[in-house]
Amino acid sequence: MRSTSQPVMSPLASSSAYDVAAVRATVPALHQEIANRPLVYLDNAASTLRPERVLEAVDHFERHDYSNVHRGIHELSQRATTAFEAARTKVASHLGASRPEEVIFVRGTTEAINLVAQTYGRSQVSEGDVVLVSEMEHHSNMVPWQLLCLEKGAQCLPIPMCDRGELRLDELDRLLDSSVKVVAVTHVSNALGTINPIREIAAKVHEAGAVLVVDGAQGVPHLRVDVAELDCDFYAMSGHKVYAPSGVGVLWGRHELLDSMPPWHGGGNMIRSVSFEQTDFNELPHKFEAGTPNITGAVGLGAAIDLVDDLGPENIARHEAQCLQAATEGLLEIEGVRILGTASSKASVLSFVVDGVHPHDVGALLDRDGVAVRAGHHCAQPVMQHFGVPSTSRASFGIYNDLEDVERLVAAVRRVQEFFG
Ligand code: PMP
Protein backbone atom coordinates (compact mmCIF):
# COMPACT_ATOMS: atom_id res chain seq x y z
CA MET A 1 0.00 0.00 0.00
CA ARG A 2 1.13 3.55 -0.72
CA SER A 3 2.38 5.58 2.23
CA THR A 4 1.44 9.23 2.44
CA SER A 5 5.01 10.48 2.64
CA GLN A 6 6.83 8.23 0.21
CA PRO A 7 5.22 7.98 -3.23
CA VAL A 8 5.74 4.54 -4.78
CA MET A 9 6.51 3.78 -8.41
CA SER A 10 3.36 2.77 -10.24
CA PRO A 11 3.35 0.06 -12.88
CA LEU A 12 2.71 2.82 -15.37
CA ALA A 13 5.92 4.56 -14.50
CA SER A 14 8.01 1.54 -15.33
CA SER A 15 6.04 0.55 -18.40
CA SER A 16 5.87 3.93 -20.13
CA ALA A 17 7.87 7.09 -20.58
CA TYR A 18 5.39 8.97 -18.41
CA ASP A 19 6.83 9.10 -14.90
CA VAL A 20 3.68 9.32 -12.82
CA ALA A 21 5.56 8.75 -9.56
CA ALA A 22 7.64 11.84 -10.24
CA VAL A 23 4.50 13.85 -10.95
CA ARG A 24 2.83 12.57 -7.77
CA ALA A 25 5.84 13.56 -5.71
CA THR A 26 5.33 17.21 -6.66
CA VAL A 27 1.71 17.47 -5.47
CA PRO A 28 1.72 18.03 -1.70
CA ALA A 29 -2.04 17.66 -1.16
CA LEU A 30 -1.91 14.07 -2.43
CA HIS A 31 0.34 13.00 0.40
CA GLN A 32 -2.12 12.92 3.25
CA GLU A 33 -4.48 10.44 4.82
CA ILE A 34 -8.26 10.68 4.64
CA ALA A 35 -10.14 8.27 6.88
CA ASN A 36 -6.79 6.73 7.88
CA ARG A 37 -5.97 5.79 4.29
CA PRO A 38 -3.74 7.51 1.74
CA LEU A 39 -5.89 9.90 -0.26
CA VAL A 40 -6.98 8.83 -3.73
CA TYR A 41 -8.07 12.01 -5.48
CA LEU A 42 -10.44 11.34 -8.37
CA ASP A 43 -12.37 14.61 -8.46
CA ASN A 44 -10.21 16.29 -11.06
CA ALA A 45 -13.10 17.22 -13.35
CA ALA A 46 -14.39 19.45 -10.54
CA SER A 47 -10.99 20.89 -9.64
CA THR A 48 -7.40 19.72 -9.72
CA LEU A 49 -4.79 19.78 -6.96
CA ARG A 50 -1.84 22.14 -7.28
CA PRO A 51 1.68 20.93 -8.02
CA GLU A 52 4.69 22.55 -6.31
CA ARG A 53 5.61 24.33 -9.50
CA VAL A 54 2.35 26.29 -9.47
CA LEU A 55 2.49 26.86 -5.69
CA GLU A 56 6.06 28.14 -5.95
CA ALA A 57 5.31 30.45 -8.88
CA VAL A 58 2.37 31.94 -6.99
CA ASP A 59 4.34 32.23 -3.75
CA HIS A 60 7.37 33.81 -5.41
CA PHE A 61 5.24 36.31 -7.31
CA GLU A 62 3.28 37.28 -4.20
CA ARG A 63 6.41 37.68 -2.09
CA HIS A 64 8.60 39.55 -4.55
CA ASP A 65 6.87 40.90 -7.64
CA TYR A 66 3.25 41.63 -6.81
CA SER A 67 1.76 45.00 -7.69
CA ASN A 68 -1.05 46.18 -9.93
CA VAL A 69 -0.51 45.78 -13.66
CA HIS A 70 -0.39 48.04 -16.73
CA ARG A 71 -0.63 51.49 -15.27
CA GLY A 72 2.40 51.70 -13.02
CA ILE A 73 5.81 53.06 -13.92
CA HIS A 74 7.57 51.75 -10.81
CA GLU A 75 9.68 48.59 -10.80
CA LEU A 76 7.19 46.28 -9.04
CA SER A 77 4.34 47.24 -11.33
CA GLN A 78 6.53 46.63 -14.34
CA ARG A 79 7.58 43.22 -13.01
CA ALA A 80 3.95 42.31 -12.31
CA THR A 81 2.92 43.44 -15.79
CA THR A 82 5.71 41.42 -17.38
CA ALA A 83 4.70 38.29 -15.44
CA PHE A 84 1.00 38.79 -16.22
CA GLU A 85 1.63 39.31 -19.94
CA ALA A 86 4.08 36.40 -20.03
CA ALA A 87 1.26 34.19 -18.74
CA ARG A 88 -0.96 35.45 -21.56
CA THR A 89 1.72 34.58 -24.12
CA LYS A 90 2.12 31.07 -22.64
CA VAL A 91 -1.61 30.42 -22.80
CA ALA A 92 -1.80 31.82 -26.35
CA SER A 93 0.98 29.55 -27.50
CA HIS A 94 -0.47 26.53 -25.67
CA LEU A 95 -3.86 27.03 -27.34
CA GLY A 96 -2.40 27.73 -30.79
CA ALA A 97 -3.74 31.32 -30.83
CA SER A 98 -2.44 33.46 -33.64
CA ARG A 99 -1.56 36.27 -31.20
CA PRO A 100 -1.57 36.89 -27.43
CA GLU A 101 -4.25 39.62 -27.71
CA GLU A 102 -6.73 36.87 -28.58
CA VAL A 103 -6.40 35.62 -25.01
CA ILE A 104 -8.72 37.40 -22.56
CA PHE A 105 -8.23 36.72 -18.87
CA VAL A 106 -11.51 36.06 -17.09
CA ARG A 107 -12.58 34.25 -13.90
CA GLY A 108 -13.17 30.95 -15.65
CA THR A 109 -15.18 29.12 -18.28
CA THR A 110 -18.49 30.38 -16.93
CA GLU A 111 -17.45 34.01 -17.21
CA ALA A 112 -15.88 33.44 -20.64
CA ILE A 113 -19.13 32.06 -22.07
CA ASN A 114 -21.21 34.80 -20.45
CA LEU A 115 -18.86 37.32 -22.04
CA VAL A 116 -19.46 35.87 -25.51
CA ALA A 117 -23.22 35.64 -24.96
CA GLN A 118 -23.46 39.20 -23.66
CA THR A 119 -21.28 40.82 -26.33
CA TYR A 120 -21.19 38.77 -29.52
CA GLY A 121 -24.58 37.22 -28.77
CA ARG A 122 -26.31 40.45 -27.79
CA SER A 123 -25.09 42.24 -30.88
CA GLN A 124 -25.71 39.41 -33.37
CA VAL A 125 -28.74 37.45 -32.16
CA SER A 126 -32.18 38.93 -32.84
CA GLU A 127 -35.81 37.93 -32.52
CA GLY A 128 -36.56 34.70 -34.37
CA ASP A 129 -32.90 33.61 -34.46
CA VAL A 130 -31.69 30.30 -33.06
CA VAL A 131 -28.85 29.32 -30.74
CA LEU A 132 -28.02 25.61 -30.78
CA VAL A 133 -26.62 24.04 -27.62
CA SER A 134 -25.72 20.37 -27.28
CA GLU A 135 -27.69 18.13 -24.94
CA MET A 136 -24.51 17.30 -23.03
CA GLU A 137 -23.58 20.88 -22.06
CA HIS A 138 -22.60 21.98 -18.59
CA HIS A 139 -25.15 24.54 -17.39
CA SER A 140 -22.54 27.24 -17.96
CA ASN A 141 -22.68 26.68 -21.73
CA MET A 142 -26.45 26.55 -21.71
CA VAL A 143 -27.99 29.02 -19.27
CA PRO A 144 -26.10 32.09 -20.65
CA TRP A 145 -27.60 31.27 -24.07
CA GLN A 146 -31.06 30.76 -22.59
CA LEU A 147 -30.81 34.17 -20.89
CA LEU A 148 -29.76 35.76 -24.18
CA CYS A 149 -32.59 34.10 -26.10
CA LEU A 150 -35.10 35.17 -23.47
CA GLU A 151 -33.95 38.77 -23.80
CA LYS A 152 -33.95 38.71 -27.61
CA GLY A 153 -37.02 36.61 -28.36
CA ALA A 154 -34.74 34.00 -29.93
CA GLN A 155 -34.85 30.21 -29.48
CA CYS A 156 -32.30 28.06 -27.68
CA LEU A 157 -32.59 24.54 -29.09
CA PRO A 158 -30.79 21.31 -28.13
CA ILE A 159 -28.61 19.21 -30.42
CA PRO A 160 -29.50 15.71 -29.21
CA MET A 161 -27.07 12.95 -28.34
CA CYS A 162 -27.45 9.18 -28.66
CA ASP A 163 -27.48 6.74 -25.75
CA ARG A 164 -23.71 6.25 -25.94
CA GLY A 165 -23.37 9.97 -25.22
CA GLU A 166 -22.24 10.96 -28.72
CA LEU A 167 -23.61 14.04 -30.43
CA ARG A 168 -26.09 13.35 -33.24
CA LEU A 169 -24.35 15.08 -36.13
CA ASP A 170 -27.25 14.12 -38.40
CA GLU A 171 -29.50 16.14 -36.07
CA LEU A 172 -27.06 19.03 -36.18
CA ASP A 173 -27.29 18.95 -40.00
CA ARG A 174 -31.07 18.99 -39.75
CA LEU A 175 -31.12 21.90 -37.28
CA LEU A 176 -28.56 24.11 -39.05
CA ASP A 177 -30.18 26.74 -41.23
CA SER A 178 -29.82 30.47 -41.77
CA SER A 179 -31.69 31.28 -38.53
CA VAL A 180 -28.87 29.72 -36.46
CA LYS A 181 -26.41 32.37 -35.28
CA VAL A 182 -24.45 30.54 -32.60
CA VAL A 183 -23.67 26.89 -31.87
CA ALA A 184 -22.32 26.11 -28.39
CA VAL A 185 -20.68 22.73 -27.78
CA THR A 186 -18.36 21.30 -25.19
CA HIS A 187 -15.00 19.89 -26.26
CA VAL A 188 -15.18 17.17 -23.60
CA SER A 189 -18.31 16.39 -21.59
CA ASN A 190 -17.74 16.72 -17.84
CA ALA A 191 -20.61 14.30 -17.17
CA LEU A 192 -19.85 11.58 -19.74
CA GLY A 193 -16.27 12.07 -20.90
CA THR A 194 -17.29 12.26 -24.58
CA ILE A 195 -14.77 14.04 -26.82
CA ASN A 196 -16.73 15.89 -29.48
CA PRO A 197 -15.46 16.15 -33.07
CA ILE A 198 -15.03 19.92 -32.95
CA ARG A 199 -13.36 20.33 -36.33
CA GLU A 200 -16.14 18.46 -38.09
CA ILE A 201 -18.76 20.45 -36.19
CA ALA A 202 -16.98 23.72 -37.02
CA ALA A 203 -17.11 22.96 -40.75
CA LYS A 204 -20.87 22.41 -40.58
CA VAL A 205 -21.46 25.49 -38.42
CA HIS A 206 -19.42 27.76 -40.67
CA GLU A 207 -21.13 26.48 -43.78
CA ALA A 208 -24.41 27.56 -42.20
CA GLY A 209 -22.94 31.00 -41.49
CA ALA A 210 -22.94 30.66 -37.68
CA VAL A 211 -20.13 30.82 -35.11
CA LEU A 212 -18.95 27.96 -32.89
CA VAL A 213 -18.36 28.53 -29.18
CA VAL A 214 -16.44 25.68 -27.53
CA ASP A 215 -16.47 25.00 -23.81
CA GLY A 216 -12.93 23.81 -23.22
CA ALA A 217 -13.11 23.43 -19.42
CA GLN A 218 -12.46 19.68 -19.76
CA GLY A 219 -10.59 19.91 -23.06
CA VAL A 220 -7.43 21.71 -21.95
CA PRO A 221 -6.67 19.37 -19.00
CA HIS A 222 -6.92 16.18 -21.06
CA LEU A 223 -6.09 16.96 -24.71
CA ARG A 224 -3.75 18.93 -26.91
CA VAL A 225 -5.82 21.92 -27.93
CA ASP A 226 -5.07 23.88 -31.07
CA VAL A 227 -7.78 26.40 -31.81
CA ALA A 228 -6.53 26.90 -35.37
CA GLU A 229 -6.78 23.19 -36.05
CA LEU A 230 -10.17 22.94 -34.33
CA ASP A 231 -11.29 25.93 -36.42
CA CYS A 232 -13.69 27.13 -33.71
CA ASP A 233 -14.46 30.82 -33.13
CA PHE A 234 -14.35 31.00 -29.32
CA TYR A 235 -12.77 28.63 -26.78
CA ALA A 236 -13.31 28.93 -23.02
CA MET A 237 -11.22 27.37 -20.23
CA SER A 238 -10.74 27.42 -16.44
CA GLY A 239 -7.39 27.51 -14.64
CA HIS A 240 -8.46 25.38 -11.69
CA LYS A 241 -9.21 22.38 -13.93
CA VAL A 242 -5.66 22.42 -15.23
CA TYR A 243 -3.61 22.59 -12.01
CA ALA A 244 -3.74 26.42 -11.68
CA PRO A 245 -5.47 28.44 -8.95
CA SER A 246 -9.22 29.03 -9.07
CA GLY A 247 -10.62 32.41 -10.08
CA VAL A 248 -8.70 32.66 -13.33
CA GLY A 249 -9.55 31.39 -16.78
CA VAL A 250 -9.37 32.36 -20.40
CA LEU A 251 -11.58 33.24 -23.30
CA TRP A 252 -9.83 32.77 -26.61
CA GLY A 253 -11.56 34.33 -29.61
CA ARG A 254 -10.73 35.00 -33.22
CA HIS A 255 -9.12 38.43 -33.40
CA GLU A 256 -11.54 39.85 -35.95
CA LEU A 257 -14.56 38.71 -33.92
CA LEU A 258 -13.23 40.00 -30.58
CA ASP A 259 -12.24 43.26 -32.25
CA SER A 260 -15.70 43.84 -33.68
CA MET A 261 -17.57 42.92 -30.48
CA PRO A 262 -18.86 45.60 -28.11
CA PRO A 263 -17.27 45.64 -24.64
CA TRP A 264 -18.99 43.95 -21.72
CA HIS A 265 -17.93 45.17 -18.28
CA GLY A 266 -17.10 48.86 -18.08
CA GLY A 267 -14.39 50.32 -15.84
CA GLY A 268 -10.68 50.94 -15.60
CA ASN A 269 -8.24 49.46 -18.13
CA MET A 270 -10.91 48.80 -20.77
CA ILE A 271 -10.93 52.44 -21.91
CA ARG A 272 -8.54 54.61 -23.89
CA SER A 273 -10.08 57.92 -22.85
CA VAL A 274 -13.13 58.90 -20.84
CA SER A 275 -15.16 62.07 -20.74
CA PHE A 276 -18.83 62.82 -20.19
CA GLU A 277 -19.09 63.61 -23.90
CA GLN A 278 -17.33 60.53 -25.25
CA THR A 279 -15.59 57.39 -24.02
CA ASP A 280 -13.23 55.46 -26.29
CA PHE A 281 -12.54 51.82 -25.60
CA ASN A 282 -9.13 50.21 -25.34
CA GLU A 283 -7.69 47.76 -27.82
CA LEU A 284 -7.61 43.97 -27.35
CA PRO A 285 -7.24 42.29 -24.96
CA HIS A 286 -7.79 45.19 -22.53
CA LYS A 287 -11.22 46.05 -23.96
CA PHE A 288 -12.55 42.94 -22.20
CA GLU A 289 -10.49 43.17 -19.00
CA ALA A 290 -12.18 45.88 -16.96
CA GLY A 291 -10.78 46.49 -13.49
CA THR A 292 -7.88 44.80 -11.72
CA PRO A 293 -7.58 41.24 -13.00
CA ASN A 294 -6.63 38.11 -11.05
CA ILE A 295 -2.93 38.88 -11.51
CA THR A 296 -1.57 36.16 -9.24
CA GLY A 297 -4.02 33.64 -10.68
CA ALA A 298 -2.76 34.37 -14.19
CA VAL A 299 0.84 33.87 -13.06
CA GLY A 300 -0.18 30.53 -11.53
CA LEU A 301 -1.94 29.60 -14.77
CA GLY A 302 1.24 30.38 -16.70
CA ALA A 303 3.18 28.00 -14.43
CA ALA A 304 0.53 25.29 -14.83
CA ILE A 305 0.65 25.63 -18.60
CA ASP A 306 4.45 25.31 -18.47
CA LEU A 307 4.04 22.08 -16.50
CA VAL A 308 1.48 20.63 -18.91
CA ASP A 309 3.69 21.60 -21.86
CA ASP A 310 6.70 19.94 -20.24
CA LEU A 311 4.79 16.74 -19.52
CA GLY A 312 3.33 16.88 -23.02
CA PRO A 313 -0.44 16.89 -23.66
CA GLU A 314 -0.15 13.71 -25.77
CA ASN A 315 1.69 11.91 -22.94
CA ILE A 316 -0.91 13.09 -20.44
CA ALA A 317 -3.74 11.91 -22.69
CA ARG A 318 -2.07 8.50 -23.17
CA HIS A 319 -1.44 8.10 -19.45
CA GLU A 320 -4.97 9.11 -18.48
CA ALA A 321 -6.43 6.80 -21.15
CA GLN A 322 -4.70 3.87 -19.42
CA CYS A 323 -6.30 4.86 -16.11
CA LEU A 324 -9.70 5.28 -17.79
CA GLN A 325 -9.49 1.91 -19.49
CA ALA A 326 -8.42 0.09 -16.33
CA ALA A 327 -11.14 1.78 -14.28
CA THR A 328 -13.80 1.05 -16.90
CA GLU A 329 -12.82 -2.64 -17.03
CA GLY A 330 -12.60 -2.87 -13.23
CA LEU A 331 -15.99 -1.27 -12.58
CA LEU A 332 -17.74 -3.30 -15.27
CA GLU A 333 -16.66 -6.48 -13.48
CA ILE A 334 -18.78 -5.47 -10.48
CA GLU A 335 -22.35 -6.68 -10.64
CA GLY A 336 -24.92 -3.88 -10.73
CA VAL A 337 -22.50 -1.16 -11.87
CA ARG A 338 -23.47 0.73 -15.00
CA ILE A 339 -21.30 3.27 -16.83
CA LEU A 340 -22.97 6.29 -18.39
CA GLY A 341 -21.17 7.58 -21.44
CA THR A 342 -19.72 4.92 -23.71
CA ALA A 343 -18.65 7.12 -26.62
CA SER A 344 -15.95 5.75 -28.89
CA SER A 345 -13.81 8.80 -28.14
CA LYS A 346 -13.58 9.56 -24.42
CA ALA A 347 -11.38 11.53 -22.03
CA SER A 348 -10.71 10.38 -18.50
CA VAL A 349 -14.11 11.13 -16.97
CA LEU A 350 -16.03 8.10 -15.75
CA SER A 351 -19.66 8.45 -14.66
CA PHE A 352 -21.28 5.42 -13.09
CA VAL A 353 -24.25 4.27 -11.06
CA VAL A 354 -24.50 1.34 -8.67
CA ASP A 355 -27.91 -0.33 -8.89
CA GLY A 356 -30.05 0.38 -5.84
CA VAL A 357 -27.56 2.78 -4.23
CA HIS A 358 -27.94 6.55 -4.37
CA PRO A 359 -24.85 8.18 -5.92
CA HIS A 360 -24.46 10.38 -2.83
CA ASP A 361 -24.23 7.22 -0.68
CA VAL A 362 -21.65 5.85 -3.11
CA GLY A 363 -19.67 9.08 -2.77
CA ALA A 364 -19.93 9.10 1.03
CA LEU A 365 -18.85 5.45 1.36
CA LEU A 366 -15.95 5.97 -1.04
CA ASP A 367 -14.87 8.96 1.04
CA ARG A 368 -14.77 6.66 4.09
CA ASP A 369 -12.29 4.61 2.07
CA GLY A 370 -10.19 7.70 1.32
CA VAL A 371 -11.36 7.84 -2.29
CA ALA A 372 -12.61 11.26 -3.42
CA VAL A 373 -15.14 11.20 -6.26
CA ARG A 374 -17.99 13.56 -7.11
CA ALA A 375 -21.66 12.64 -6.80
CA GLY A 376 -24.41 14.75 -8.30
CA HIS A 377 -25.81 16.00 -11.58
CA HIS A 378 -22.46 17.60 -12.46
CA CYS A 379 -24.26 20.79 -13.56
CA ALA A 380 -25.51 18.86 -16.56
CA GLN A 381 -29.12 18.10 -15.66
CA PRO A 382 -30.22 17.48 -19.30
CA VAL A 383 -27.64 14.66 -19.41
CA MET A 384 -29.17 13.13 -16.28
CA GLN A 385 -32.64 13.53 -17.80
CA HIS A 386 -31.47 11.75 -20.96
CA PHE A 387 -30.35 8.74 -18.96
CA GLY A 388 -33.29 8.86 -16.53
CA VAL A 389 -31.15 9.24 -13.40
CA PRO A 390 -31.07 12.09 -10.87
CA SER A 391 -27.31 11.95 -10.53
CA THR A 392 -24.21 9.78 -10.96
CA SER A 393 -20.93 9.14 -9.21
CA ARG A 394 -17.99 10.41 -11.22
CA ALA A 395 -14.32 9.47 -11.07
CA SER A 396 -12.03 11.67 -13.14
CA PHE A 397 -8.31 11.18 -13.65
CA GLY A 398 -5.52 13.72 -13.88
CA ILE A 399 -1.76 13.85 -14.41
CA TYR A 400 -0.98 12.37 -10.98
CA ASN A 401 -3.39 9.43 -10.86
CA ASP A 402 -2.09 5.93 -11.38
CA LEU A 403 -3.21 2.32 -11.55
CA GLU A 404 -3.03 2.00 -7.79
CA ASP A 405 -5.66 4.73 -7.58
CA VAL A 406 -7.78 2.71 -10.02
CA GLU A 407 -7.41 -0.40 -7.86
CA ARG A 408 -8.46 1.55 -4.76
CA LEU A 409 -11.49 2.94 -6.61
CA VAL A 410 -12.62 -0.45 -7.86
CA ALA A 411 -12.12 -2.08 -4.45
CA ALA A 412 -14.06 0.71 -2.73
CA VAL A 413 -16.98 0.44 -5.18
CA ARG A 414 -16.97 -3.32 -4.66
CA ARG A 415 -17.32 -2.70 -0.91
CA VAL A 416 -20.25 -0.31 -1.57
CA GLN A 417 -21.97 -2.99 -3.59
CA GLU A 418 -21.36 -5.60 -0.89
CA PHE A 419 -22.56 -3.19 1.82
CA PHE A 420 -25.90 -2.64 0.08
CA GLY A 421 -26.13 -5.98 -1.71
N1 PMP B 1 -17.93 23.49 -18.49
C2 PMP B 1 -17.52 22.28 -18.10
C3 PMP B 1 -17.51 21.16 -19.12
C4 PMP B 1 -17.12 22.07 -16.79
O5 PMP B 1 -16.72 20.86 -16.40
C6 PMP B 1 -17.17 23.15 -15.88
C7 PMP B 1 -16.79 22.96 -14.42
N8 PMP B 1 -17.38 21.86 -13.82
C9 PMP B 1 -17.57 24.39 -16.34
C10 PMP B 1 -17.94 24.53 -17.64
C11 PMP B 1 -17.61 25.58 -15.44
O12 PMP B 1 -16.32 25.95 -15.09
P13 PMP B 1 -16.06 27.10 -14.01
O14 PMP B 1 -16.88 26.74 -12.81
O15 PMP B 1 -14.60 27.02 -13.75
O16 PMP B 1 -16.47 28.39 -14.62
Residue range 177-234, pLDDT digits in tens: 999 999 999 999 999 999 999 999 999 999 999 999 999 999 999 999 999 999 999 9
Does 4 have pLDDT greater than 60? Answer: no
Predicted local distance difference test score (pLDDT) of residue 1: 61
Domain for residue 190, yes or no?
Answer: yes
CATH number at residue 169: 3.40.640.10
Best residue among 188, 250, 379, 381 to mutate for probing ligand 1, ranked by most atoms within 8 Å of CB: 379
Amino acid residing at 123: S
CATH number at residue 322: 3.90.1150.10
* Ligand 1: lining residues by beta carbon, under 6 Å: 45-46, 108-110, 138, 140-141, 186, 190, 215, 217-218, 238, 379
Pair 194, 216 in one domain: yes
Pair 184, 316 in one domain: no
Residue range 360-417, pLDDT digits in tens: 999 999 999 999 999 999 999 999 999 999 999 999 999 999 999 999 999 999 999 8
Pair 196, 343 in one domain: no
Residue range 243-252, pLDDT digits in tens: 999 999 999 9
Is residue 252 within 8 A of residue 275, CB to CB? The reply is: no
- CA 310 to ligand 1 centroid distance, Å: 24
- CA 110 to ligand 1 centroid distance, Å: 6
Domain for residue 48, yes or no?
Answer: no
Residue 379 CA, closest ligand 1 atom number: 8
The dihedrals phi and psi of 120, each to the nearest 5 degrees, come to -60, -50
Predicted local distance difference test score (pLDDT) of residue 3: 55
Does 45 have pLDDT greater than 70? Answer: yes
Among the candidates 310, 328, 347, a domain finishes at: 310
Tell which residue, 135, 167, 218, has the closest CA to residue 394.
218
Pair 88, 161 in one domain: yes
Among the candidates 283, 310, 337, a domain finishes at: 310
Domain for residue 66, yes or no?
Answer: yes
Pair 168, 218 in one domain: yes
**pLDDT tier at 421, thresholds 50, 70, 90:** confident
Domain for residue 414, yes or no?
Answer: yes
- CA 109 to ligand 1 centroid distance, Å: 6
Task: Give the catalytic positions in this structure.
Answer: 379
Predicted local distance difference test score (pLDDT) of residue 105: 98
Predicted local distance difference test score (pLDDT) of residue 71: 78
Helices (H), 33-108: 52-60, 75-95
Pair 68, 109 in one domain: yes
- CA 112 to ligand 1 centroid distance, Å: 10
**How far apart are the C-alpha atoms of 156 and 138, rounded to whole Å?**
15
* Count of domains forming the chain: 2
Three-state secondary structure call for residue 393: strand
Does 128 have pLDDT greater than 70? Answer: yes
Predicted local distance difference test score (pLDDT) of residue 14: 41
Question: pLDDT over 70 for what percent of the chain?
Answer: 96
> Closest residue (by CA) to atom 4 of ligand 1?
217
Pair 305, 316 in one domain: no
Q: At what angle do helices 359-368 and 403-420 cross, to 10 degrees?
A: 120
Taking all residues of the chain, what is their mean pLDDT, rounded to a whole number? 95
Among the candidates 281, 310, 339, a domain finishes at: 310
Predicted local distance difference test score (pLDDT) of residue 65: 98
Name the residue range of residue 142's domain.
55-310
Domain for residue 173, yes or no?
Answer: yes
Predicted local distance difference test score (pLDDT) of residue 5: 53
Pair 27, 83 in one domain: no
Predicted local distance difference test score (pLDDT) of residue 9: 38
